[in-house]
Amino acid sequence: MRSTAARAALGAGGCRRYARTVQPVEVLRYTAFADPEAGGTGGNPAGVVLDAAGLGDDEMLAIARRVGYSETAFVTGVVGDRVRVRYFSPAAEVPFCGHATVALAVAIAERQGAGRRVFATASGDVVLRASDTTAGVQVAMTSVGPATRGLPDERLMPLLAVLGLTLDDLDAGHPPLEAFAGNWHPVLVLADQDLFHQFRFAPDVLAELMRRSSWPATVTVLHPVGPGETAGPGRQGAAR
């Protein structure tokens, strides 16, 4: 199911889209946050299934594995403006995924029109408003309430070991923490930008640690970009 689709186009709102029909389920591929002025480059890819009402858990997981992106969003039911949504990584169901939510909102708006919708997710209700603009569909999202908490040593040290890092590699101005915006996940900020671009990890080992630690989706690693700025682009390891 890698994109050998006959039709591929730049989706509205900076989402690049692909469509393939795997009978009887249509699977869409979007790249949320792609830059339409740069030919749709960049962004974060997600799978989208608009009609998953008849799919079981194993079937949704199998589709997510074939899509191969960090998450695929599945619409399992619609009542009025409320859309029931589930998210699957290639390894398991996850409670929420921000970029897949944006991709799904654009896909629905392209087919059913702009407007306000509420996505009912395992992490709570997410209110979205899609609008048509000259640049395409734009989506504003009010997500679940964010939260942070400290990352204790008994959870931090195994993570550093898997990533091949030490405490000395971390930026002193940004203590390690766990963040929540639908999923709890660890956030590490490295002091050295060069190390950020060089460190490596074993995906299978990291995925097992994430499962044991109840981190369902990602590990986020960042680096400072300048005085007064928090951090640069993140590297994420999806549980696969």
Q: Show which residues are catalytic.
A: 71
Residues 16 and 10: their CA atoms lie apart, in Å, by 4
Q: Enumerate the β-bridge partners of residue 235.
A: 221
- Do the beta carbons of residue 25 and residue 35 sit within 8 Å? no
Q: Residue written as tokens 């956030």?
A: 187
**Distance between the two ends of the chain, CA-based, in angstroms?**
17
Which 3 state secondary structure label does DSSP give 117? strand
Interhelix angle 203-213/153-163, rounded to 10 degrees, is: 170
Where residue 68 falls (left for φ over 0; alpha for ψ -120 to 50; beta otherwise) is left
- Tally Cβ neighbours within 10 Å of residue 64: 27
Cα-Cα-Cα-Cα dihedral sign, residues 9, 15, 20, 23: negative
> In 199-239, which residue ranges form alpha helices assigned H by DSSP?
203-213
